Amino acid sequence: MTRKTLFIAILAMTCGAALAHGPGKGDKFKMMDTDGNGSISSAEHAAGVTKMFTEMDADKDGFVTTAEMDARHAAKGDKAMKMSSADKIKAMDTDGDGKLSSAEHDAGAAKMFTDMDGDKDGSLSRSEMDMGHDKMKADSGHAGHDMEKPAGTE
User: For residues 40 and 122, what is the distance between their CA atoms, to the nearest angstrom?
Assistant: 9
- pLDDT tens digits for 125-148? 999 988 887 776 666 554 333 333
Q: What is the pTM of this model?
A: 0.71
- pLDDT tens digits for 45-89? 999 999 999 999 999 999 999 999 999 888 877 655 567 889 889
- Helix%, strand%, coil% for the chain, nearest 5: 55, 5, 40
* DSSP H helical ranges for 78-146: 85-92, 102-116, 126-140
CATH architecture entry for 3-137? Orthogonal Bundle (1.10)
Domain range annotation of the chain: 3-137
